[in-house]
Structure 1
Amino acid sequence: MPHVEVTSSTGNTRFKYTICTPTDAEATTIDPSLPTLLFIHPVSIAEHVFHAQFADPLLRCSNLVSFDLRGGHGDTSGDKVPPYYGQVEAAEDTIRLMDALELPACHLVGMSTGTIIATQLAVTYPDRVLSLFLVSHLCLEIPPEVADGHLEICELWTSAFPDASTVLEDVVYEAGFGNSQYMFSTHQVSPLVTAMMKITYPVAMEKWGYEHLDQFRIMNLDFHLRREPFSKTSLARIAGSVKIVHGTEDVAYPQSYSREFLRRLDEAGVDASMHVVRGAPHYLLPDFSNQINPVLYDFILQNDDRLNNAPVPDHVQSPWTDVFKQASLESEDSLFDDCIIIHPRRHHHRRNSLSSVTLCVA
């Protein structure tokens, strides 16, 4: 797995990253003749959340790039993030990573808190961002009830590690249950999401255990509470088009939240539009890829002429295929076929009411 050393104003980082081209799931460089899509994951999981996008032949007409964020995510390591670490610092880290990988101006794809970083990049470094595809954006003021949920899950996770030698697994499980509700709106999740959680939680328990609870709080609580909405002046700096994607079963953020951000973008003179996915939760990219991936492809096609003549590869493989196999995704209901992923089927379940909104912890 490739890594690259990056230095920014907040420290030194060894970023884990992934580059996929139409012909190579583990490329070392991009194909400069094609558009480049840079994916930014939420501050809660890791880059493998984009598994269903990197396995899509249409999207693999372009270069697809992703990475694990700092502060305890995935296989990225290095200096701890400072207490004030937020969207501005994360955007600086991302631009330094782009420089280190010699990436040209990119189309940014962010989900949840990844949208804050992507938008910050677009207003701070507009010449490096060709467009923004924002899935379940968090670019406005945080609602008070959502802030309370973030605080609740942070306290719950912290209480699961009372000392250096103790882990209260039942409390971890309770935090995980709230995590699943926030991200996927259901008690029961798909085989793909189940595998994602099996990959993610052991890493979270190691990197956000007793000795690193400060990093957990900074990334999973403070990052949200201190996030700053974007002013009209800053939004006007966005050079490319913006597509907002909202799922109607998002338990934390109503459709009005996305429509308000769309209104602010319009007022700032940004070319912006919105796509609504019926029945989709906050983290909608894994199980609703069959609906979202074509929208993303068409959006890039509208904003980048280089995609017009790009051939669609016959077969592609996700860079995380083996990782998901090890997480026991294989079964008679498997999403794999000869190591090639098929678009996940949607799983419909009754929405559960929540006494409070809780935050993802892994």
Structure 2
Amino acid sequence: MLYVDLETSSGPFSFRYSIATPTSHSAQQIAPEIPCILFLHSGYVAQECFEFQFCDANLRQFNLIAVDMRGYGETIGTIGDVQFTPSESAVDVDQIMGKLGLPPCHIFGLSNGCAVALELAIRSPSRVSSLTMCSPPPTKEPEIVSSGHLEVYDDWVLMNLTANGTVRPETDTTYQQMALEVMTGTHQLLYNHIRDDDVIAVARFGLMVGKRNWAGSSEKIKQAYKTSVEWFEKRRHVPFEELKSITMPLSLIHCREDVAYPIEHAKEWEALLIKAGVRVTLHEVPGTHYGSVTNPVEVNTVLYDTVVSCHPQMINKPYIVRKPGQRKLLTPFTQLLVEGVGYSPDSSDSD
């Protein structure tokens, strides 16, 4: 695994990042001659949720980079009591790009990762070549979604702590019951109870890593609140004048089966960005809230088209050749998913 060390508003952090290139599914550095796409995840699961972008042969014509945010995945550090919002995450991403010496990147944000991407584009426009925002959150979290985040968090607390504050063992009946509630609640919010093997693998992996990061102590439970509630609820309203500073092309993706953010929110963003003079296009595709997991083909097509619109010389580049019998390209996450939750990358052909 690759790490970059930063001093953040929460103190020292080691951020895990991953790189895939046309010639390496898990590279140490980018190929400098081709464009970069940087992926920013949302809640409940870290960069592994981009397995189905990194295994896409069209997208693998580029450098693909992903990072685990504070409190997520394999990133090391403690958020503590300081404020944690997409604004802080954008500062982190800005510093990570600088420390790694990355050129301007095409940014793909998923859900709350869109808020991070937008903050980054406003804060450091020279870092961003284009924005693709899948299931972008509205300026204020809808009450039903806020309630959902809190309900999942409350279930998480009940899963991990007894009434007197002691930590429950995983063998405890209540622990097992509440773990099922957490899995059910997040799956409904993100994936609409889709039982596809790929979706289940990503969801289970998120829960497995979440148990390690957000369970077992009062400090870890506090970090669970920071990452699964505050990070969403405390994001700032971006002033209109700041939106006017966005100069790069921006693609909005609304997934039609999204129970969290209906199409009205995406249309509001489209109208606001057009008014601000941003080059924006709104795309409707099939999929749930995390449509990049449930319907990657359609989402990946929008992302690819957005990127090559800035690099017409990349259009119709030859596909990466798969090995005989291989349906999906390997990624930095494939083996982790296989070993962690029994993911079978060639069980379905979703690339």
Residue 111 of structure 1 contacts residue 137 of structure 1 at CA under 8 Å; is this kept in 2?
Answer: yes
- Tell me the residue number matched to 1:171: 178
Say whether 1:3 aligns with 2:3: yes
Q: Deviations over 1:209-245 (max 9, x none)?
A: 1421111101111111111222211111112011011
Give the superposition deviation at 1:272. 0.3
Q: 1:64 is matched with which residue?
A: 64
Which blocks of at least 5 consecutive residues in structure 2 are unaligned? 323-328
Q: CA deviation at 1:285?
A: 0.7
Q: Which residue is equivalent to 1:199?
A: 205
Partner residue, 2:13: 13
Q: 1:321 to 1:210 in 2, by over 3 A?
A: closer
Match of 2:332 among 319, 324, 346: 319
Q: Secondary structure at the match of 2:252?
A: strand
The more displaced of 74-83 and 15-24 is: 74-83
Per the alignment, in what secondary structure is the counterpart of residue 303 of structure 2? helix
Residue of structure 1 aligned with 2:196, choices 187, 190, 199: 190
| Secondary structure, counterpart of 1:216 in structure 2 | helix
| Match of residue 307 from structure 2 | 300
CA contact (8 A) 2:78 2:223 kept: no
Residue 28 of structure 1 corresponds to which residue in structure 2? Answer: 28
Structure 2 SS opposite 1:303: coil
Match of 2:106 in 1: 107
Q: Which one-letter code corresponds to 2:331 in the other structure?
A: S
The amino acid across from 2:310 in the alignment is N
Classify 1:291/1:308 alpha carbon distance in 2 versus 1 (closer, same or farther; 3 Å): closer
1:155 match: 154
Equivalent position of 2:134 in the other structure: 135
Paired residues for 1:1-362 under 5 Å: 1-71=1-71, 73-162=72-161, 163-167=166-170, 168-186=175-193, 188-211=194-217, 212-278=220-286, 280-305=287-312, 307-308=314-315, 310-315=317-322, 316-326=329-339, 327-330=341-344, 334-335=347-348, 342-343=349-350
SS class of match (1:285): helix
The aligned length equals 334
Contact 2:252/2:281 (CA < 8 Å) preserved in 1?
yes
Looking at structure 1, the residues matched to 100 and 132 of structure 2 have their Cα atoms a distance apart, in angstroms, of 21
Question: Following the alignment from structure 2 to structure 1, what is the Cα–Cα distance between the partners of residues 25 and 230?
Answer: 35
Q: What is the DSSP-based 3-state SS (H/G/I as helix, E as strand, rest coil) of the residue aligned with 1:114?
A: helix
Q: C-alpha separation between the residues in 2 aligned to 1:116 and 1:57?
A: 27
Q: Is the contact made by 1:248 and 1:281 (CA closer than 8 Å) also made in structure 2?
A: yes
Q: Residues 204 and 19 (structure 1 numbering): CA distance in 2 closer, same or farther, change over 3 Å?
A: same
Query: Which amino acid counterpart does residue 198 of structure 1 have in structure 2?
Result: R
Distance 1:142 1:238 in 2: 23
Rounded to whole Å, the distance in 1 between the matches of 2:70 and 2:312 is 34
| Equivalent AA in structure 2 for residue 209 of structure 1 | A
Alpha-carbon distance, 1:139 to partner = 4.2
Distance in 1 (CA, whole Å) between partners of 2:110 and 2:243 is 18
Aligned to 1:348: none
Could you tell me the TM-score, scaled by structure 1's length? 0.88
**Could you tell me which amino acid in structure 1 is paired with residue 134 of structure 2?**
V
CA drift of 1:271 comes to 0.3
Runs of 5+ consecutive residues of structure 1 not aligned to the other structure: 336-341, 345-362
Across the aligned residues of Structure 1 and Structure 2, the Cα RMSD in angstroms comes to 1.8
Alpha-carbon distance between aligned partners in 2 of 1:313 and 1:143, rounded to the nearest angstrom: 42
Q: Deviations over 1:23-52 (max 9, x none)?
A: 011111111211100000113201010001
Q: Name the structure 2 match of 1:349.
A: none
* Aligned mates of 2:302, 2:208 — CA distance in 1: 33
CA 133–81 in structure 1, closer or farther in 2 if over 3 Å, else same: farther
Indicate the residue corresponding to 2:326 in structure 1: none
What SS does the aligned partner of 1:127 have?
helix
Q: Which has the larger helix fraction?
A: 2
Task: Give yes or no for contact 2:10–2:82 (8 Å, CA) kept in 1.
Answer: no
3-state SS, counterpart of residue 245 of structure 1: strand
Distance 1:63 1:225, change over 3 A: same
1:310, CA displacement in angstroms?
A: 4.7
Q: What secondary structure, in the 3-state scheme, does the structure 2 residue paired with 1:77 have? A: coil
Query: Any conservation in 2 of the 1:83–1:218 contact (CA below 8 Å)?
Result: no
What is the identity, as a one-letter code, of the residue corresponding to 1:164?
V
Question: Is the contact made by 1:33 and 1:306 (CA closer than 8 Å) also made in structure 2?
Answer: no
* Matched position secondary structure for 1:37: strand
